[in-house]
C-alpha cells in the first residue's frame, strides 16, 4: 500500500458489513410506515395536478446539459403547480406494492425503502403562507407545520451564512428515518440510504431545469440546528441534505 495511506483510519470497504445479522424483517417485526404519521387535525393543502404548460424545456438531453448548481435566484415566486411537480419528481408516489409494503417513486431506492421525509421552508410560493411545511407523499399534500419570526435569519445561520439558501423561494430539506431501511437491511442499509439521497437531489436538479428553475445541493449546515429547525430528534430522524430552488435567468 502506498505510504501516504499508512495511518488512514477512515472509511473502508467493510464499514457497513457485519456478518450473520438477523434483521427485524426476518424476525417478523412490523414494518415501519411508508410515511411519518401526522396530526390528522393539522392544516393540509392539496397539491394541484401539474400540466405540460409548466414545462419550459421538455428535452432530457437539454436538461442534462444545462444542469448546474445555481446560487442566484430571481425575485419571483413559484406557482403551486411548479412546487407540486418538484415534489412529485423527488418523492411523489406512483404506486404502492403489497399491503403498504413498498412505494414506487420517480427516484430509485434500495429495496424501495425510501427512508426520507421532505420538509420545505416556503418563502415565496403563490397561495402559500411563509413557513415550514412537510410533504405527505401518500396523498400528495402539504402539511403546514409552523411559522416563526426571523425564520430566514435562522436558516442563514444554520447554513453557515449561505444567504441564498435561506432566502430562496423554496428550500427543500430532506431528513432520513434510518429504521425504514434498517428494518430490512440492518447496518447494511446505511450506505444505500446515503446513495438514495443523491437520487432525490439529482431529480430536483433536472426537474428544476425543466421549469426554468435552478437549485444547489447543500451539505454544509449545522446538524443539531437543522434537526431542531424541523423539530426532529436527530436520533430516529435527522436532516441529511438540503436544496434551495428559485427561478433563474434563461
Ligand X SMILES: Cc1cc2nc3c(=O)[nH]c(=O)nc-3n(C[C@H](O)[C@H](O)[C@H](O)COP(=O)(O)O)c2cc1C
β-pairing verdict for 102-104 and 116-122: unpaired
Residue number, 138 or 219, with CB nearest to ligand X: 219
Nearer to ligand X, 97 or 161 (CB): 161
Could you list the residues that contact ligand X (CB under 6 A)? 68-69, 71, 162, 216-220
CB of 47 vs ligand X, minimal distance in Å: 27
We find the least distance from the C-beta atom of residue 231 to ligand X, in angstroms, to be 22
Q: Which residue is nearest to ligand X (CB)?
A: 220
Nearer of residues 96 and 219 to ligand X, judged by Cβ = 219
Provide, rounded to whole angstroms, the least separation between the CB of residue 32 and ligand X. Answer: 26
SS3 content of the chain, % helix, strand, coil (to 5): 30, 20, 45
Order of all β-strands in the sheet with 141-146:
44-46, 141-146, 131-136, 116-122, 170-176, 238-247, 213-215
46-71 exposure pattern, b = at least 16 Cβ within 10 A, e = fewer? ebeebeeebeeeeeeeebeebeeebb
Instruction: Identify the residue whose cell numbers are 434510518.
Output: 178
Nearer to ligand X, 65 or 68 (CB): 68
Q: CB of residue 229 vs ligand X: minimum separation in angstroms?
A: 16
Q: How many angstroms separate the CA atoms of 75 and 244, rounded?
A: 13
Task: Report helix, strand or coil for 215.
Answer: strand
CB of 49 to ligand X, least distance (A): 30
- How far apart are CB 68 and ligand X at their closest, in Å? 4
Q: Which of 172, 148, 170, 150 is nearest to 221 (CA)?
A: 172
Indicate the residue among 128 and 170 with the shorter CB distance to ligand X. 170
- Grid cell digits, residue 221: 449546515
Nearest CB to ligand X, comparing residues 93 and 207 = 207
Contact 229, 154 (CB under 8 A): yes
Amino acid at each position: 500500500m502506498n505510504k501516504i495511506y499508512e495511518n488512514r483510519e477512515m472509511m473502508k470497504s467493510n464499514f457497513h458489513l457485519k456478518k450473520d445479522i438477523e434483521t427485524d424483517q426476518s424476525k417478523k417485526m412490523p414494518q415501519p410506515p411508508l410515511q411519518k404519521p401526522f396530526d390528522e387535525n393539522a392544516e393540509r393543502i392539496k397539491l394541484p395536478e401539474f400540466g405540460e404548460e409548466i414545462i419550459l424545456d421538455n428535452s432530457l438531453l437539454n436538461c442534462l446539459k444545462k444542469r448546474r448548481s445555481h446560487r442566484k435566484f430571481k425575485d419571483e415566486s413559484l406557482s403551486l403547480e411548479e412546487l407540486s411537480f418538484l415534489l412529485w419528481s423527488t418523492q411523489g408516489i406512483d404506486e404502492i406494492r403489497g399491503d403498504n409494503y413498498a412505494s414506487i417513486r420517480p427516484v430509485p431506492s434500495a429495496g424501495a425503502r425510501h427512508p426520507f421525509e421532505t420538509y420545505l421552508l416556503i418563502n415565496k410560493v403563490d397561495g402559500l403562507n411563509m413557513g415550514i411545511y412537510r410533504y405527505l407523499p401518500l396523498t400528495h399534500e402539504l402539511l403546514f407545520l409552523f411559522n416563526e419570526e426571523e425564520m430566514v435569519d435562522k436558516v442563514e445561520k444554520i447554513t453557515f451564512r449561505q444567504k441564498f439558501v435561506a432566502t430562496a423561494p423554496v428550500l427543500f430539506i430532506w431528513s432520513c428515518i434510518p429504521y425504514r431501511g434498517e428494518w430490512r437491511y440492518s447496518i447494511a442499509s446505511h450506505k444505500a440510504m446515503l446513495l438514495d439521497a443523491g437520487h432525490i437531489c439529482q431529480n430536483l436538479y433536472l426537474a428544476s431545469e425543466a421549469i426554468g428553475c435552478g437549485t444547489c445541493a447543500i451539505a454544509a449546515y449545522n446538524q443539531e440546528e437543522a434537526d431542531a429547525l424541523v423539530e426532529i430528534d436527530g436520533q430516529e430522524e435527522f436532516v441529511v441534505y438540503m436544496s434551495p430552488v428559485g427561478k433563474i435567468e434563461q
